[in-house]
Amino acid sequence: MPLPRPPQPETPTADAFRIHRSQVTDAMTLAYVREGIGGYPLLLVHGYPETKRIYWRNIEPLVAAGYEVIVPDLRGYGDSDLSEKNEYDLVYYSRDLHALVHDVLGHARCGLIAGDVGGPVIVDMANRFPGFVDRMIYFNTIAPIVPEAAEWYAAHNLPMVPLEHGPAGDYQIRQGRDFEQLAAELDTPARCRQWVRDFYEHRLLASRGSFEERDFDFMTEPFADIRRLSAAWAPYQLQYGRPMSEPPLVAQKVETPTLILYGPDDQVVPADFPKRCEIAFSNRVGPLSVPECGHFIQWERADVLNEVAKFFFSDLRSS
């Protein structure tokens, strides 16, 4: 009989936080939560199939600890604008977020927290904008690739590029190579929401029992529109010929101090993720494994992430 899951922070209601909107480029407005103004700024970046809602359990605890918490929807997601020119990739996301935090909100520096697609986005930010990122928390995503470490990868029996698809990663092919056919199949809001629900329920990303019925409704509602769902598939299409605005800065070592977390119940991010992070992050804490947790650490083990974040960034609150 499985042990009971650790209790998690209360989930705020869907309308618990004010949604702000700011223009970050001539053609793009991002929606975001901003709470605790005046504290040290933490930018929390979601991935797929997520929106800013995946951080709903983290906002209030981090604000109470003295942080300004900024939680945006990436372009095309949630309440942010769709791109009229279908411009979506990791660098677009990175530049949007830098413009929001630095140019619009006026922060010269910040801390970053991200997993999934948000992971390579914050790595690009740290490498692209020197001095902007003080520290990062990085979990359950793709580790940066370090070409000059080819001998290290070989010594540890690791291919330099991770396996293209894990045992539960067939969706990566469908959303990347066969996205037009998939979009045609998801021809109602209910089917769009069911596609997203599967990731939280049975696709082997989350630890069993992490999400309840009300959570499925909360997470899937922003993806009922096929335009937003298909916009979120853009990163998966990059390996199938989708043009990039410019290469993301993710094929190099990361010097920014970074805490590495890993939810081992995740069956999509390969189990070699921690080992790859050991070579990719020169100035790291961890990797640390989070028990009874899969892909969505910020939700599944919000109790752990909140306390770890409070500690990891604590001395920056008075700097």
Q: Please, is 128 exposed, middle or buried when counting C-beta atoms within 10 Å of its C-beta (0-12, 13-18, 19+)? A: middle
Q: How far apart are CA 51 and CA 72, in angstroms?
A: 8
Give the residue ranges of DSSP H helices in 31-70. 59-64
Q: What is the pLDDT, as a whole number, of residue 168?
A: 60
Question: What would the pLDDT profile of 268-304 be if each residue is shown by its tens digit?
Answer: 888 889 999 999 999 999 999 999 999 999 999 999 9
Mean of all residue pLDDT scores within the chain: 93
3-class DSSP assignment, residue 317: helix
Residue pair 293/263 in contact by the 8 Å Cβ criterion: yes
pLDDT at residue 155 greater than cutoff 90? no
Contacts of 22 (CB under 8 A, 6+ apart): 29, 30, 32, 100, 104, 105
pLDDT of residue 152: 82
| pLDDT tops 60 at residue 33 | yes
pLDDT at 16 over 80: yes
* Angle, vertex CA 170, rays to CA 169 and CA 171, nearest 5: 90
**What is the mean predicted confidence (pLDDT) over 214-229?**
97
Between residues 3 and 188, the one the model is more confident about: 188
Give yes or no for a contact between 118 and 45, defined as CB atoms under 8 angstroms apart.
yes
Helix, strand, coil share (%) of the chain residues, nearest 5: 40, 15, 45
Amino acid at 20: H
pLDDT at 166: 54
pLDDT tens digits along 187-215: 999 999 999 999 999 878 898 889 999 99
Q: What is the mean pLDDT of residues 251-260?
A: 95
**Alpha-carbon span 65 to 216, nearest angstrom:** 29
For the cut 90, the answer to whether the pLDDT of residue 167 exceeds it is no
Number of other CB atoms surrounding residue 139 within 10 Å: 30
List the structure tokens of 313. Answer: 């960034």
- The pLDDT, as a whole number, for residue 43 is 98
DSSP codes joined into one string, 235-262: HHHGGGTPPPSS--S-SS-B-S-EEEEE
Check residue 298 and report its DSSP letter. H
pTM score of the predicted model: 0.95
Judged against a pLDDT cut of 80, whether residue 56 lies above it is answered with yes
According to CATH, the topology of domain 19-162+246-318 is: Rossmann fold (3.40.50)
pLDDT band at 3 (very low <50, low <70, confident <90, very high): low
Integer Rg of the chain from CA:
18
Identify whether the C-beta of residue 265 lies closer than 8 Å to the C-beta of residue 160: no
pLDDT tens per residue, range 64-108: 999 999 999 999 999 999 999 999 999 999 999 999 999 999 999
- Domain ranges, ordered by start, for the chain: 19-162+246-318
Tokens of 198: 């599967």
271, 158 in Cβ contact below 8 A?
A: no
Q: d(Cα 161, Cα 143) in Å, to the nearest integer?
A: 10
